[in-house]
Structure 1
């Protein structure tokens, strides 16, 4: 009985024990769909409230929870429009692509390598952007944006999962696909993005301890 599985596109033999969930079209496709829909809805909600704020600067938005967590307060800063238009419009457009790929995976379509690498590059840029906005929001502005946090919470796991998929599937080349360290890190993708999000959560709790201490 053959104990290996060959991926046709890549000429790379993948051992059964490395068959992470990110290599299974159904689970990976569902993940991309769910994460994309959540990110899209959060971005759309932000866009709606941004225009509400423009119409009425004194409007109290649904995400204005308290002085520590308020989308409206963050929207008043230049960083909310890094490219000359509201940042949330980037999310509305950006989450469409992984959503489409998730649907295609569920439909059994074969996604070309260059498309998956392109998705990875886009998510890498998106992750850099959300980490920059996380730093500015929490440490410089001093106010957390609830809907922004939802976007962070889906963008980072998507980046980690797609990177793991591309590494294990051979989309980054044979060398990375067969590298023991890359394979181990890729297989532990869930642990990596959970740890990443826990670090972000810990930073938020420490920075806003005056608020969280009142909840204890």
Structure 2
């Protein structure tokens, strides 16, 4: 059965992201933003390999610099540049988004698989956020775009799966989970606000100088 095919039982479960057009548009737009950011990071990495002294367009200052972050081993967790993961991974939501816009019914297990894959992405970006803010002490502008896209995609896809019954009827009928799933962008916004607060606090030497 398709997660985005059978209508949800409760009328309040219908949201812009539970239908083909809404979810399809969302996945394509966010996927394109994610893959463009990852590709830009890949180009910058190649530039640095060719010329270690190169100044990248995203090297804004000592506190926000893609090039500085790329010098640390955390930028190659699996033995190759992390950005290559994004270039490959963001293709999946784009393809699924195009299929949804084409009115193709996506099987429930594929949407669940997308949620699980995004959960893996959340684990990775959370680790990278922590190391960037508290270990390296430098923020990567393009990386932060990827962080935002991954968090927003995870919240929206997970919420859609809950409301459409992809995790079972008991989850779909839970009032608490249904209420939480009805506001994925708000949850993502609060999540990102916490990260932004951590960055402002940790990089106060820079932000304080702007006041």
Equivalence map 1:106-125=2 (5 Å): 106-125=101-120
Structure 1 counterpart of 2:89: 94
Distance in 2 between residues matched to 1:45 and 1:81, nearest whole Å = 16
Distance in 1 between residues matched to 2:203 and 2:210, nearest whole Å = 12
Equivalence map 1:3-152=2 (5 Å): 13-152=8-147
Normalised to the residue count of structure 1, the TM-score between the two structures is 0.93
Structure 1 counterpart of 2:170: 175
Structure 1 counterpart of 2:202: 207
CA drift of 1:87 comes to 0.1
Distance in 1 between residues matched to 2:41 and 2:130, nearest whole Å = 19
Structure 2 counterpart of 1:192: 187
RMSD: 1.6
Distance in 1 between residues matched to 2:165 and 2:143, nearest whole Å = 33
CA drift of 1:123 comes to 0.3
CA drift of 1:24 comes to 2.1
1:59-101 CA distances to partner (integer Å, 9 max, x unpaired)? 1111110000001100011000000000000000000000011
1:132-190 CA distances to partner (integer Å, 9 max, x unpaired)? 00000010000000000000010000000000011111111111111111111101211
Distance in 2 between residues matched to 1:97 and 1:155, nearest whole Å = 13
Query: Does the 8 A contact of 1:164 with 1:189 survive in 2?
Result: yes
CA drift of 1:110 comes to 0.2
Instruction: Describe the shift of the 1:11–1:93 C-alpha distance in structure 2 as closer, same or farther (beyond 3 A).
Output: closer
What secondary structure sits across from 2:64 in the alignment? Answer: coil
Distance in 1 between residues matched to 2:147 and 2:164, nearest whole Å = 26
Moved over 4 A (4+): 7-13
- How many residues are aligned here? 210
What secondary structure sits across from 1:14 in the alignment? Answer: coil
Distance in 2 between residues matched to 1:20 and 1:12, nearest whole Å = 11
CA drift of 1:11 comes to 7.4
Distance in 2 between residues matched to 1:81 and 1:143, nearest whole Å = 16
Distance in 2 between residues matched to 1:212 and 1:75, nearest whole Å = 23
